[in-house]
Amino acid sequence: MSKTDNKENKTKELFNKIVEGVQNIVNSGEYAKFLKFSKNFHNYSFNNVLLIFSQMEEATRVAGFAKWKSMGRNLKKGAKGIQIIYPIKRSYTKKKLEGQDSLLDSEDKDTKQEEKIEYLTYRYTYVYDISQTYGKPLPLSNDSLNSNDKKEFLEFLKSFSPYPILEENIAGSEKGYWSKTKQHIVLEDTLSIDDKVSVLLHELTHALYDDFDYKENRNLSETFVESVAFIVADYFDLDTSMCSFEYITSWTEGDTKILLELGDKIQKCANSFIKNLEDYYNNGNIRIAS
């Protein structure tokens, strides 16, 4: 068997591991744990986060050997690499024939033109968690929003929201809702501060990122929105797993295909939401108590 065949088989094995990983996460009831884990890996795809999680659940920050070396850190003796899938951009030039249309042109000939075709291939590579390295300490990450006083964070989210936030008594059991027709978000005014933050993150995700047809795909919409809201809440030090995971599983009903379909979308939108919040804060729009 050639080296190329070996690489293709290895890549196929990794894709199979992704599917198995989703199934294991759902079957074991660890989807909430996985979502919390995924917040640490903004630069990695959903598939690679799954692969990292399946091999080292305690990982917090990973990079390749060369990257760690450039940051003044070396691998500890016996460090075992974590396999991920690495996309490689490739291209080739395709020649095509294009005839001239004019019948009056006596020199009517087929002219050769070249078309550049770009595509992606995949190979596996290895990364290592920071716990597997030693050397220079890394710069502290920006944790200025990680306040234990969620009253300030609630005010920050209200300031960030492009839509009005109303707090009023809602009939029934709803904690809040996003009104697409009225272009505002309503929160149940009797909720605790932390509950209001959790619900507001959920409704902001509906307003800013949810592009599902709610009538046709309500289960996809709610699974997607609560998963994104969970990641964002956890990133800013608010653990909503007690209610989020039960909510998510009630909409997926254990169907791993739903999570496979939504995984990459959840990861990208959560990363975008977090970045937008941090950018808004770093631009000096509001002061968050530490």
Dump pLDDT digits (tens) for 115-159: 777 776 778 899 999 999 999 887 544 333 333 458 888 999 999
- Report the predicted TM-score, pTM, of the whole model to 2 decimal places: 0.62
Q: What is the pLDDT of residue 25?
A: 76
For the chain, give every domain's residue range.
Answer: 1-89+122-136, 138-290
* Rounded Cα–Cα distance for residues 286 and 290 (Å): 13
**Which residues have CB under 8 Å from 147's CB, separation 6+?**
153, 237, 288, 289, 290
Cα distance between residue 156 and residue 25, in whole Å: 33
The helix (run of H) or strand (run of E) holding residue 90 is: strand 82-99
Residue 285 zone, left/alpha/beta (φ > 0; ψ -120 to 50; rest): alpha
In terms of Cα–Cα distance, which of 188, 190, 168, 186 is closest to 178? Answer: 186
**Which spans in the chain are helix H?**
3-27, 31-38, 46-55, 65-70, 150-160, 193-209, 218-235, 241-252, 256-282
Token digits of residue 31: 């989807």
pLDDT, tens digit (0-9, with 9 covering 90-100), for 38-91: 878 877 888 889 899 989 999 989 999 999 999 899 999 999 999 998 877 777
pLDDT at 121: 76
